[in-house]
Structure 1
Amino acid sequence: MKNWFFFTLIMATLYATPSWAQSCDDATGLTYTVLSDTEVQLDWDAVPNATGYKLRVELESPGAPFELRLFVSTNSHTVADLTPGAVYKFKVRTQCGGDHASWSDNVFFSTTSAPPGGGGPGPASCTAPDGLAVSNLTDVSATLSWNAVPGATAYRVEVEDGDNTPPYHQETTLTGTSIDIDGLVAGGQYKFKVKAKCSSGNFSDYSPWFFFPGNPGGPGSGPCAMPAGLSVTDITDNSALVSWDPVPGVTTYELEVEDADNTPIFFLNELVNATEFLVTGLSTGGNYKFKVKSKCSGGNNSDWTEWFFFSTGSGGGPTGPCVTPTELAINDLTPTSVLVSWAVVSGAQAYELQVEDADNTPPFSINEILTATEFLVTGLSPSGNYKFKVKSKCSGGNNSDWSDWFFFSTPANFGAETALQAKGEQKAALDLQLFPNPVQLGAPITLKMTAAIDRQLNGYVQVFDLQGRLYLTREIDQSGSAELSIPSAGLSPGMYQVVIRSATDVQGQRFRIVE
């Protein structure tokens, strides 16, 4: 016989405690102390607002199979039953209620004979590689190299396509200071950067990008910075003075100006030995755009800047760049799918979305052009780590910069049924109701959960805004009847998210507050 439970929580203090909205910082200061051949103590700096930490320890070198994943409540943990002389790695992720930070970098350690309390701290910083260079350059291949870093045990090199070049991406970890790459396109533009892996297992910062052309003629001379500070002044009916900030060491720039929407065809491409140029021959009330790139020594070029839009005469003056999306968020998270979203950008005609796998997750990548500000991503792996970013696509082919990556993790696979975990490993089918929705500013909104189970439920309720800020966590560990009343007085109009979580399930609904 099914027992029906109604859960009610009164969140009268929902917005009275500012600490609910504080950030969840990454774990830092990871160290280790070898206690014996088979035991090591792992430590890291305590993080304010942390409710615990996820710890992952894995075997790096040959030895008895070992992998440890657990949740700890303090910033220290002792690991036993290790293989003497083996090499391991560990990393930590801060948990703040239902929110969490990104995983730290791995720190490597080995188990060697040591007296209790011996050993010492693991991380020791090392510098980013320098002396980046390109040699043996052909239409389709190149040799990349850099100077050795004292104390480095390996290097991570990343290669990407540059301007007006088919997509290309390669990431490799190696112990040497050079690598041969192929698969390039004749006449293409490319860039690479390198970071060092220290003896402790930590990585240095990446070097600056080094740009090089993918065709014969010699390597570039090093990093070539992209101009910034684009501006338009002295606008008339048929002319405008375009300008940009100087780039150190650069004396020549390539300027391109084109017509934009509803404007007669116009095109200009000039090599300029200054940081401004008077563009003439424009149409009254026309819409235009320009971009610039640096021309460095050795044939090395920067990437193009984003387009900068402006209008002549009665066209309204400079319009500036296309704005990058903000308020990235995730909702409706399951083991294999998630709803990603972001705030509307004024003037954007579409958005470009990119989703990729992150740490220790099977390869995954999608790229979509959308007119909406949300997208249901499917085909994810349970317990996977992922990231997404978005850029705006405005009129005239103008694109914003990419947003920062937004990281998230999928829960473990609990099957297709949405449920809260009951004590005794029994699941409960959950009917979640949120009403009225939308709700008028100042009026309460009610959350009602109805579950058919035979045992007591445990889990917790959380409230987020669409920027991902956690405002409240309330534990559920009870039976009986109750109601969840969320006051809207004092809140800003907008969208919010209520999430119900347990050890094996996540379910949520949005509600909107309107004036």
Structure 2
Amino acid sequence: MKKILLGFIIICLHSLATSGQNCNLNCPKNLSTSLHPEFGCTRALSPYDLMTNPSDISPTCQAYQLKLDYPYGTHQMNTDGALDISHSGYSMTYHIIDSVSKNSCWGTLKVNSCDLCQIPTPPVITSFTVTPEPIIPGTTINLSVTAMDNISISKVEFYNGTSLFKTDYSAPYSTTYTTHAEYASKNYFKAIVYDNCGDKDTSDVLVRTTLFPTCYDGVKNGSETGVDCGGGCHDICPVACYKPSGLTASVSGSYVTLSWYGTVTQYDLEIFNISTSTLVVTIPIATNPYHINLVDGNYKYRVRQGSSCLWSDYVSFSVNTYYGHCYVPTNLAHTINGSQVNLSWTGYASQYHLEIINTTTHATVVTSLISTTNYQISLPNGYYKWRVKSVCGSQYSDWCTDQIFAVNYTDPHCYAPSYLTSSVSGDKVTLTWSGSAADYHLEIINVNTYATVVSATWASSPYQATLPNGTYKAKVRTVCGSGYSSWTSEVIFTINYASHPPCAKPYHMLFSINGTYATISWSGDGSQYQIELENTDKNVMVNNDIMAGTIFQSTLAPGNYRCRVKSKCPPDWSDWCDYGWFTIQGDHPIPGPGSPPSTCAAPTQLFPSVALHDVTLSWSGSADQYQLQAENRVTGEAVISAGLNTKSYLATLPNGGYHYRVRSQCGNDYSEWSSWSEFTVNAASPVVTTPEPDTCHRVPTGLSAMVVGHAVTLTWAGGTAQYMLQLKNTNAATNLIEEVLLDKTYSTTLTEGVYEFKVQGVCGIQQTSWSQTAIVVIGGSDDEAIGHYAPVDSSCTNSISPRIIQATKNSVTLKWNKGSGAANYTIEVIDVAHPEVYRYITTQYTDSTITITGLLPNNVYNIFVKTICGTGASQRTSHTIVTTPATNSTATSKFDCDAPPGLAVNFISATSALVSWGPVTGLKYYKLVAESTGDTPAFSLLQTVLNNQFTVTNLVPGGSYQFRVGAECFFSKSVYTPNMAFTMPDAPSALFSLEARSAPIHPMTVEVFPNPVRSTLNIKLHDNVDHQGWLELTNINGQIQSTWKNIPLHESMSLNVEQLSSGVYFLRINTGRNQIVKKIVVE
């Protein structure tokens, strides 16, 4: 308050000092001015341009000066009176100052919008050239245009006569044109240049004539410019001295067409088979072109215009009935002699791509391009598969079917083990044997199915395995350096473990319907589930999938459905749960065959309560759960579709007329819908007041925040001399910072949390209105603010597929698809290992490609993108994981082949991931290897990829995987990159939303303390929760450490974390209605 009062005293004294009698100034308060399109939308103002009335000019003033306060970000220099197109549409403050008395006045100046296209200024072609001259048939000529324009050139069109043959969109504007090879003609070339306003300029027409070819007779004839050079072929050229030219050969299968340029009707023709060194054809012929069928081979031919004429030069061609088709190799065979393996096949390609893979280790033994149809290699004992495909230039055939073989070389000096025995305990078998070798090969085979359930190449005694119930036989042999010993005798044993716990049926099945989109969820303890979904109107099974999660989502046709689920507790299945019924687009059906009669009472006493845009919908009923539907009465659009376990629902809706209805869910049955209850949202718009003259008038705008670790810099735009800043933590009632500033920026250090700040302009004792509130997130995700501060717009998609297109050791380039309705984007980058140290956010980013710099080499980052639309924001994309390369690419020529840099993962869905990497110089193709790790079901992929990205599908939600990439260049190949590990997200509606399909999220806050924690972590919920939910703890790499499912969630609870290693973890809390993620530091 002292600062504000001091400013007021200074202004008052200044007013007294400037109100003397020697010079009185009067400035109009609100003026506007226009820029000059004819001068490139510029204008230089003088004081007299603004003092338009004679009464404004005082005869006692000596000389005027003009000073403009340019709007923030519109100009780099403070040049008095100078305006340009960057100021178009802006308002600013102008000051007129008497240079002698220093008296001044001020007002507001609005710069009207200026369009350079207002003044038609067509482009001007400064040159148009066609070279060379003269033009010989069959040659290529060059066309070039230069032009100038007051804005910019948009495109140049090139014509021959009225035919458009080229459009060039970037300078230098040029193209080429090839004349006909067989006849002379006149060409009428012209160019049309367009600018960005749609104006154009047309060049003069340049006429160019193509002349006949030269007489090749060793004499300068007619208009030739030299001996056999330029000019035309005239009658004085002796026919006997003319060599035919322009020989061509067109081959289609075995059918060959030969043609050439000549002037007579009788020719001699010779066709020579280069492959067999024989003369195939030597005849006088009268036709041009000449057609013939030939067998496969390499040929050359020549012609002459009579026995006394000169032969033309030879032209070569090949006949290959397989040309144009890249066939899969056939007749695959392999022979094995000890450790020596011979592979062979039949094919017609010039090269072949061969792969040999060890099926036990999944390691690629050979991946190579070869030019023969056989291959020899020495392999160690093991199981293998091989395949081959044809390489036809830039085309590839499909792979042949995998061929399986085994190398099983027995060394006579390698002695077999002895005394093989088995011991069974529960579902475990222990095998022991005697021997002096370091390694053994063990096999266990199911006697009933003949399936090999264990094949351990590097086994040692004793060996233990866990097996399902059944009868088995086992054998073992010694692994020697040159091969194997003979097998031991087989031992037979039986597993009959009957103490498996019973497999419980799934329970607590819920349905959520949004238009034609159905979400079915349930609770259970199985590792997998089978769902049966049936359309009861048509008696058609819609789905019979086996899945890992407890949520199923699908778009369904209108109709009536029933659903049931059963659990898998390996190796057993539970019984089916009871059927549940639901309807897509329509009331609940009349119970049909198999549907029990409904005893579920419909809700009553529907009561809507409206406060501005906040609507509370409530009702009475005796059921445990309810389904709610709300629609816009005018458009019929569904605005709410939710399954609830409460008798009220809070929503925020725009102005309009609505109605809603509710039905009860009693176990697996539903009541009839209640009657519709109508309500109207008609919140008044905020009143906008215009400040009186001479008061503060410009509210600060453009609030933004830059966060690095715990350091934050706040900036804004405004037109006042001082600003009042308020900054507070959203969980606190009082302001953290409240002070008056002279600058439009403020830097400080904050602890972890969600903050909000706002600014108002200060002009002496006057203040502007407060700006809009901006959100700052320190050490967490800005998604923590969704639902409180940033409305989620369901039409604003986050399905934009971000991917890495380039990576260096200090930067990555991210590209994504433009989202529907996108106005701009927010990009967030977090250092995975040190999120508290490095966190970068940029907002209002309008492009769909960004290069992020200042990164560390060989470091892992998570990148998120959020689409910002006109009425709200999308959910964030799932994180794109990228590892920066340790060093930048050193490939400087086509002979180098670096390992691909910048491996990255972006999750497309719960079962598919887009893996990508940086490009490699001199590349032929990439080799991608992806596989499962840990307890995730077995998965392996070996893929040849031509681009630097690939979508891996058929993954398991929540599964752990890794991938690596190698590069195959034209003259060498790289090593594989180190493996990059990633963990798939859980089912979409459980952990994240690919599209905002659900009802608005109710606000929920969670406190975790102490944090950092050593032993016991306390959790406090602020959500009035008293039902079941689940918690999940993951490490910083996304790997699940612990999961607590179907546990009672109360206002307070505790977790023991003593078993965890020190580090950063993430705790995900889901109540069914809400979910939130908190970062935990374990000491």
* TM-score normalized with structure 2 length: 0.17
* TM-score normalized with structure 1 length: 0.32
Q: Relative contact order (C-alpha < 8 Å, sep 6+): which is higher? A: 1
Q: Based on CA coordinates, which of the two structures has the bigger radius of gyration?
A: 2
